Amino acid sequence: MPSARFIQYGLGPIGIGIAALAVQQGHRLVAAVDIDPAKAGQPAAAFIPQAPADVLVTADASQVLNAGADIVLHSTQSRLALVLPQLLPLIDAGLAVISTCEELAFPWHHHPVEAASLDVLARSRGVGVVGLGVNPGFVMDLLPVVLSAPCRDIRQITVVRVVDVGLRRLPLQQKVGVGLTVEAFRRGVSEGRIGHVGLPQSAAMVAHALGWALNQIEESIEPVIDSSRTVRGVHQVCRGTYTNAHQITLDLTMTAGAERPRDEIVIEATPPIRATLEGGIHGDQATYAILVNAIPRVLAAPPGLLLPTYLPAVPPDRRG
Amino acid sequence: MPSARFIQYGLGPIGIGIAALAVQQGHRLVAAVDIDPAKAGQPAAAFIPQAPADVLVTADASQVLNAGADIVLHSTQSRLALVLPQLLPLIDAGLAVISTCEELAFPWHHHPVEAASLDVLARSRGVGVVGLGVNPGFVMDLLPVVLSAPCRDIRQITVVRVVDVGLRRLPLQQKVGVGLTVEAFRRGVSEGRIGHVGLPQSAAMVAHALGWALNQIEESIEPVIDSSRTVRGVHQVCRGTYTNAHQITLDLTMTAGAERPRDEIVIEATPPIRATLEGGIHGDQATYAILVNAIPRVLAAPPGLLLPTYLPAVPPDRRG
């Protein structure tokens, strides 16, 4: 695999994991950005194992635009509105971008103007920009789309994902409300602090692949509680409706101690498909690998705002 | 979806099913080729429901090169050597090709000269050429490659596929030796009449995606017998070895009355992946859909000899 020169933008736990894997796979870190005062000014190697000793973390992203990078690995926030001001100067400087921003995975439905702006800018600068991750970006959208290749007359696509957050990072447990009262959970949901971001984007991405113009995308977010009415986590259901007979249902449970963690994909079609991934694809390691494995594929892709579904499994310029 | 103008090349049961689905999906049949004297000269509509009434089957493929088609849907034989003389004039005439030829799915390992010739010609004519199907082309190669996206440090990929041929077409039952004696089975294997073609191609395709230069690809073909020593079907195991610790194992059982038909994909890596498709992806309907669903993706792909792993799930020129 050819190696790339990359900028790590965002040194939270996910960003650090991505950068560490990229370095381990032979890509070269040329700059690192984080606004945390405890990180800015420090050597990147203090956070990213094996990072080059001469790279210092900077809080000022404008300073890295000419660092000679091919691509930016970006991991800051979930919401497109917060991420867009970070991405535009990078793209304008001719840098490809792979981001964990959940709303970037498929922004055309909920943010069509922003999506078109990103697309036009990325095309004019000749670079690819894409939002990737396990969810959205893989298990509830790309994977069902790939699995639908042998199908005709697709009627329903249902994905059930069960994640046990009990053994995961504390921030993830907090994000799904573990230990809260129901009232505090609901307040957190209304304030946007609690809940998983990305199910509507996944539903829209699947619909786009099928050529379905969805009439409605609705989402519910409910607490999962134990016998003492303490919140154990979240249950979210997102349904995208094309017709009454053509629906996409994404059912996500993330709780501490969830029974039988798994991903299930059911496609009602001819022939029907029923796929189960016991244990489920989760863990931060999966996110790191999805981003880093995508580097050569994004660099080889046609320019523009890309979708996870646009990236071939293998870059087509790599001849047999 | 834009519709394509296509030539159906090969009107066996699979070719007819492919053409019928393509017509049903709105693509236009402009010519049909088959050497069977019982079919040549007949209206294509006698075999393909809803086919245009003015298309006659011809045994002479040179007559269809100027029929104004975009693409050829080709379904004749499994072996590249037999198919190559059919494909070269089509590609030379500027026609894209999707073929069920098993050895075309990944010809670079076993037929590198033929692969390079096809690639050069397809590039020079600006068309894509690809071998697709359920197996090879999907369940034992593309799907494990897609499922490996969240993985690092991949060590072993194992695919177990169990197909019950009891309810399938008679030619398929004959191909796996149902009802034969062990001696007749082995004679059929040695004469190339019995056994599934494509496991080594799938192993090589997976290795190519992983960047593994395989040192060895070995394959065994054994009969599965019942208590009266009558053959119930075939058990084939193909192993591609990169190092002792890095192997691809494809284990295929096709028997009449197979218990628990399924596809299982196990990836030993970080994180590990274990996916099960209960019932398995099989049935001729799946083959038809894989070919027809690929039409817009092949027409949008960069020219050359394509691989199933090169085709994005959605053509990237279809904007959100």
Determine the residue of chain B that is closest to A295 in CA distance. B149
Shared domain for B275 and B190, answered yes or no, is yes
- Smallest CA–CA separation between B39 and chain A, in Å? 27
Q: Do A274 and B278 count as a contact with CB atoms less than 8 A apart?
A: yes
Please report residues of A whose CB lies closer than 8 A to that of B210: none
Interchain pair A271, B290: CB under 8 A: no
DSSP 3-state percent helix, strand, coil across chain B (nearest 5): 30, 30, 40
- Look at the pTM and tell me if it is higher than 0.95: yes
Query: In this structure, what token pair is assigned to residue A238?
Result: 């997102």
Residue of B nearest to A112 (CA): B320
What residues does A254 pair with on adjacent strands?
A163, A234
User: Domains in chain A: how many in total?
Assistant: 2
| Confidence category of residue A1, pLDDT binned at 50, 70, 90 | low
Q: What is the pLDDT of residues A104-133, one digit of tens each?
A: 999 999 999 999 999 999 999 999 999 999
CB contact under 8 A, A150 and B305: no
Q: How many CB pairs under 8 A join A and B?
A: 161
| A316 found inside a domain | no
Is the confidence at residue B29, as pLDDT, over 90?
yes
- CA-based nearest distance A107→chain B, Å: 8
**Would strands B96-99 and B71-74 be described as parallel, antiparallel, or unpaired?**
parallel
From chain A, the residues in CB contact with B279 under 8 A are: 272, 274
The residue of chain A with its CA nearest to that of B2 is A211
The rounded distance, in Å, linking the Cα atoms of A21 and A8 is 11
In a domain, B315, yes or no: no
Shared domain for A173 and A265, answered yes or no, is: yes
**pLDDT above 70: residue A263:** yes
Say yes or no for a CB contact (<8 Å) between B285 and A142: no
Q: Which residues contact A158 (CB under 8 A, 6 or more apart)?
A: A248, A249, A250, A251, A264, A265, A266, A268
Nearest residue in chain B measured CA to CA from A133: B150
Whether A46 and A174 map to the same domain: the answer is no
pLDDT confidence bin for B320, thresholds 50/70/90:
low
**Domain holding A216: CATH number?**
3.30.360
| pLDDT reported for residue A170 | 85
The number of residues making up chain B comes to: 320
Helix H or strand E segment including B72? strand B71-74
Q: How far is A60 from chain B (nearest CA, A)?
A: 31
Residues in chain B within 8 Å Cβ distance of A25: 152
Pairing assessment for the beta strands A273-278 and A262-270 based on DSSP bridges: antiparallel
pLDDT tens figures, B167-208: 788 889 999 999 999 999 999 999 999 999 999 999 999 999
Residues in A touching B14 (Cβ below 8 Å) = none
Nearest CA of chain B to the CA of A37: how many Å? Answer: 32
Residue B83: burial class (beta carbons within 10 Å; 0-12, 13-18, 19+): buried
- Cα distance between residue A126 and residue A71, in whole Å: 12
Do A150 and B286 make contact, defined as CB atoms within 8 angstroms? Answer: yes
CA distance A258 to A253: 8
Within-domain flag for A315: no
> Domain range holding B262?
142-281
| b/e burial code for range B132-171 (CB count within 10 A of at least 16 → b) | bbbbbbbbbbbbbbbbbbbbbebeebbbbbbbbbeebeee
Find all residues with CB under 8 Å of A187, minimum gap 6, and list them. Answer: none
Residue A319 maps to a domain: no
Res A319 pLDDT > 90: no
A301 and A223 both lie in a single domain: no
Q: Are A19 and A89 within one domain?
A: yes
